[in-house]
Amino acid sequence: MFSFERPLLAQRPSLKRSGMGVRTEKQFLSALDAWYVVKSEAYCNLISVFVRELQLPAMSSRAVACRQYRFLNRHTVEFAVPADVTSDLSRVEYLGGGSFGNVIKIPEYICKDGRKACVAIKKLYEPFRDEKNAQRVFRELRLLQMMVHENIVKLLDLYTPDTSASSLRNVYIVSEYAGNSLSEILRRQREMGNVCLLTPDHHKFIIYQLLRALKYIHSASVIHRDLKPGNLALTADCDLSVLDFGQARTLNNDDTALSAYVMTRWYRSPEVMFWKIDSYDTQADMWSVGCILAELSLGQPLFPGEDSVAQYRLIAELCGSPDKDLMGKLARNEAILNVITHLGVYKRKRFADFFPKSFPPDLIDFLDRVLVLDPEKRMTVQEALAHPYLAEYSVPEDEPVACGPFVIKELEAKWVMRSSCYVDRAPHEMARKNEHADRLIQRLLKNKTMTCETLYENDWLHMRDIGYTIVNDSRKIIENKEMSSLFYRYH
């Protein structure tokens, strides 16, 4: 299934992979300049958006050619695949899915230029169901259009089977198939008793390519914010691609308050998860790089916390408690200071004592400099590329940067709660949430604000569905408009 014979200094010229076509940033900077707003009663007057210059095909012409394809996995997933881009659906493979969509693989997809390519097609799950998710889709598509780099997944096409703007519900993203996810490779390795599928040379080459991509991403004033093994893909030749820019954010946005609920917990930086500094920057990604490298080297996650408190303890036991300088930066946040004080003081361990003796000194030093609590003292992507651990790979003139900061205008929309939302949902689908809804109502009545904030921090997608159940059941809310509106202000 996996084949990683490549390193030997990665044979430098092969870093120049045959891409999906040369594109310029200028073309993509002008490729998308507007989102269009469509009133949609079924989506409770939310702004239903679609892309103009991303060349979302004329819906009526493409819809006729679309075919439905069902995959019997844990769930039945229905895909609409345009007939004009592939002649053989028998080799289509279901790759997986999550809360934001499902992905299939098509070995022979006919691209716009007539060339056949192996692609992954992602069906977005209700991309316009609310403002927050629409904004996430907007950023991901915009950034994928703008980014041109060998170690970043390439967007090839977009389409929808829907026949009109008013009925727009589905968007499909076609990108190059970048290989198996690193998380799947590591999982298989653990299942085989930590059989070495990836050698230390592979680890080094993987991290080099990740940093090479981050150098480009950060030069565009973009934070990825969700770096983890599941968002990295490897080909059989160990070529790496960074995937999933749904959580990415530009630093030059007028709104500098960045969300704390990003990244999978195990790879989330302390400033994002605990300090909640309003304007954290690209250094948040560097912490994730350290966590990924440690997992590659150890064969298991470094900080597998079951919850936020457990996560903090694991981090503090290795990296220590915040020093005086960092505590001074957190002085304005009394709640965070109380939590840190309550959990006690930890002294930073010597990484050379913590990690196995078999780890080379330059690897330990790299981890020691990147897994630092204070983001201002953490190693930058440029410093990481110049570190002795990666010295044999780093060639600055072959590590491209963006032409300038990417500017993405935020989608301007207001979420309007309507009790008619989700009325088209199957009764059994909503009924599954009634038990959760009953418990949630009691919590809301006791402490509305705290309950809403807690829900938002933990699982806003699932809890929003529960919220709809409550709102649609007038017998439960008894016309308590204050409660329902408060709930949705946090969603």
Catalytic machinery residues:
226
Amino acid identity, residue 66?
Answer: C
From the list 96, 90, 242, 78, the residue with the least C-alpha distance to 169 is 78
Tokens of 458: 């933990």
- β-partners of residue 272 are none
The total of other beta-carbon atoms located within 10 Å of residue 132's CB is 15
Q: What does DSSP assign to residue 350?
A: P
- The span from the CA of 357 to the CA of 360, in Å, is 8
* Residue 123 marked in a binding site: yes
Q: Under a CB-based contact definition with an 8 Å cutoff, are residues 210 and 232 in contact? A: yes
Angle (CA) 156-154-197 rounded to 5° is 130
Q: How far is CA 191 from CA 74, 187, 196, 442, in A?
A: 21, 6, 11, 43
Q: What does DSSP assign to residue 307?
A: S
Q: Under a CB-based contact definition with an 8 Å cutoff, are residues 245 and 224 in contact? A: yes
Q: How far is CA 157 from CA 52, 53, 172, in A?
A: 13, 12, 8
Q: Under a CB-based contact definition with an 8 Å cutoff, are residues 286 and 294 in contact? A: no
The total of other beta-carbon atoms located within 10 Å of residue 236's CB is 13
Q: How far is CA 18 from the centre of its chain?
A: 26
Q: Under a CB-based contact definition with an 8 Å cutoff, are residues 470 and 435 in contact? A: no
Q: Under a CB-based contact definition with an 8 Å cutoff, are residues 78 and 101 in contact? A: no
| Binding residue numbers for ATP | 123
| Binding residue numbers | 123
